[in-house]
Amino acid sequence: MLKPAFTFLFLLFSICLLSGVASSGETGEKLVSMSYVNADIVAVLRELSRKADVNIVIDKEIHGNITLDLRNVPWLGALNLITKTHGFDYKVTKEPLW
C-alpha cells in the first residue's frame, strides 16, 4: 500500500456553468459550508461534490479521517484544504475523461 504522501488523488470534475447555489464574487465559484469531526475523507469529498454540484471521482487508495469546520468558502478552496491536509493531489477538468 502506498503512503498518503505519495498517493495521488485524481479527481475529475465536470463543472456546470448554470447553478442555483451561492457564488463567490466575480469568480462565480460556488461557496460551501461543512463541519465534520473525525469523518471519513471519502464521505467528506462526496458531500463536497453534492454541495458544489460537481462530479468527483475518488481513487480507491484514498482513505483516512478528517476534522474540519468551513463556512462559506469557495468549493475549490475547500477541496484544496481537504486533499492537501492528507498529502493528496487532484486534477480538475471541464469534461469527464473516458
Identify which has the larger pLDDT, 21 or 84. Answer: 84
Asked, for residue 92, whether it belongs to a domain, the answer is: no
Asked, for residue 90, whether it belongs to a domain, the answer is: no
Q: Which domain holds residue 62?
A: 6-16+27-85
pTM for this model (two decimals): 0.71
Q: Quickly list DSSP for the chain.
A: ---GGG--------B-SS--S-EEGGGTEEEEEEEEEEEEHHHHHHHHHHHHTB-----TT---EEEEEEEEEEHHHHHHHHHHHTT------SS---
Asked, for residue 50, whether it belongs to a domain, the answer is: yes
* Tens-digit pLDDT profile for residues 37-95: 999 999 999 999 999 999 899 999 999 999 999 999 999 999 999 999 999 999 888 77
Instruction: Give the number of domains in the chain.
Output: 1
